[in-house]
Copies of this chain bind each other. A is one copy, B any other.
Amino acid sequence: MTDIKLPQFSDIREAHIRIKQFIHRTPVLSSGQLDKIFGARLLFKCENFQKTGAFKFRGAINAVMQLSDNEISRGVVTHSSGNHAAALALAASMRGAKAYIVMPENSPDVKKAAVKGYGAEITYCTPTLIAREEAADKIINEKGATFIHAYDNFNVICGQGTAALEIIDDQPGLDIIITPVGGGGLLGGTAIAVKGSKMGIEVIAGEPKGADDAFRSFHSGEYIPVHTPNTIADGLLTTMTMRTFTIMRKNVDDLVSVNEESIIESMRLIWERMKIIVEPSAAVPLAAIMENPGRFAGKRIGLILSGGNVDLSKLLFYSEKLK
């Protein structure tokens, strides 16, 4: 545990200087109607408007920009079917390099199309962790490509923390910042950024009850991985690592677990009242407030809207009218 390198506040500030020409400085939006409903001042950091539709691009571009010309010429590789895959694909393309993405063959077509759209090369594998790791190892050995993990990576965590730097800077006087937690990259980067800024802001994470390894690890003080996560928040099915667990223990004030109904209701409120599209994972911070109204009443709260990549084909989308 002692030999895991953990990011410091200065690392996140340096990451921001490094990547800010490549990322969108996303807006912070608010809604008078939502403030009224929740009895708090809610400030939403819109990473759904980030490149590739999620905060993941911050970490991916920060990692890619630190590879040498020699390293990047041999490409980067990851196994992911989600937002990190698209983010790494775009980041690599911005250095004229190749991204190799290992994906289960049963991934949704919309995700395959997104990754291909950013110019990546997909390697399909059977949908098991062993098959994914074997496929990635094969590419590393054959191509000499650099593996960039979705969250268990120092530079990725530093990149994810830059969203918090921006909201702290744009919205002075926050009492609390809430993020969702899956593997702990966004939460870790955010917590280091917030605590390093020394403004007395609390860091709280929301996690679905169906994937509550971080919640149970945090409250027990022991690293407890979860083996069969199940939640609509598909970005949060991942499990923490010792690195992200260690950052969480040192820097996070509290974890709140939320049920599926609150996630869906929160997502719907954001769509309806703010007229923006967020994915289920991004609605988890609002769900945390919804389930604990007394605790958040009257506070000035920053919520990281982590992404907006929803498979719209899962929605009816007026198709009944076409029939």
Contact = CB atoms under 8 A, between A and B. Distances in A.
- The residue among A48, A264, A308, A318 with the most chain B CB atoms within 10 A of its own CB is A318
A261 interface: yes
Interface stretch (A62-70, A170-178, A275-283): A275-283
Interface string A307-320: 01000101111101
A100 interface: no
Report which residue of A268, A272, A275 has the largest number of chain B beta carbons within 10 angstroms of its beta carbon: A275
Nearest to A321: B232
Nearest to A51: B32
Interface string A285-323: 000000000000000000000001000101111101110
A316 B232 CA distance: 14
Nearest to A117: B33
Report copies per complex: 2
A22 interface: no
A249 to B, nearest CB: 33
B315 A317 contact: yes
Contacts of A271: 277, 312
A264 B316 contact: no
Contact of A322 (B48, B260, B320): B260
A57 interface: no
A4 to B, nearest CB: 35
B318 A316 contact: no
Nearest to A261: B322
Contact of A312 (B49, B232, B272, B321): B272
Contact of A316 (B275, B308, B314): B314
A303 to B, nearest CB: 16
Interface in A46-77: 48-49, 53
Contacts of A320: 314
Interface in A257-273: 260-261, 264, 268, 271-272
A148 B272 CA distance: 27
Contact of A315 (B261, B275, B280, B316): B316
A49 B312 CA distance: 21
A275 B312 contact: no
A269 to B, nearest CB: 10
Q: Across chains A and B, which 5 residue pairs bring their CB atoms closest together, nearest first?
A: A275-B308, A316-B316, A275-B277, A48-B275, A315-B315
Interface of A: 27, 48-49, 53, 232, 260-261, 264, 268, 271-272, 275-278, 280, 308, 312, 314-318, 320-322
Given A268-B317, A271-B277, A315-B318, 5 more contacts: A48-B275, A261-B322, A264-B318, A272-B312, A315-B315
5 contacts: A232-B321, A272-B312, A275-B277, A276-B277, A315-B317
